[in-house]
Structure 1
C-alpha cells in the first residue's frame, strides 16, 4: 500500500517528542512513533489487536538534512508486515 497525500499531510506535522501517537485514518488504526524533534518516523497501519499492537503494515521514514538543517530527503518506505502483540 502506498501512502496517499491525506495521510502524508498527517505525518508531515510535528507532534510531541519521542512519543507513540494512536489515531485512526479511513477506518484503519494507525500508530506512529516520533523522533526527538517530534517528526513521525515509524508508522504502523492496519487493525489494532486485543493486545494493543497493529496487524497490518509497517513503514519507516528517512529524513535527511543539510548543514543548515533544511530537509533534502523525506521518504516513507514500506518495511513489511506488522503482526506483533505490541510496537
Structure 2
C-alpha cells in the first residue's frame, strides 16, 4: 500500500496573491531551496509511511524539508515561528 499524504501542490493558486510566482520576486531564496530539495533523494522519509495504516495523513516530506531548510537559512529555528 502506498502512503497517503495531505495534498501538496506548490503550483496551486492562492486567494491573495493568485500564484506564488507573483508573490516572490525572481531569484528569491525560496526558489533555490525548492529546486535543491526537489533534487534530493527523500526515499527514507517515504519509506516510513509506505505501509499506510490508521495514522493521520502526514504532510508531504518535500514540503516539510523545504520549510525547515528555509527557516534555518533565514535564521528561524522555532517551530512556532515557522508555523506562522
TM-score (norm 1): 0.27
Structure 1 or 2, whichever has the larger Rg, is 2
Q: Larger % of helix: which?
A: 2
Higher relative contact order (CA 8 A, sep 6+): 2
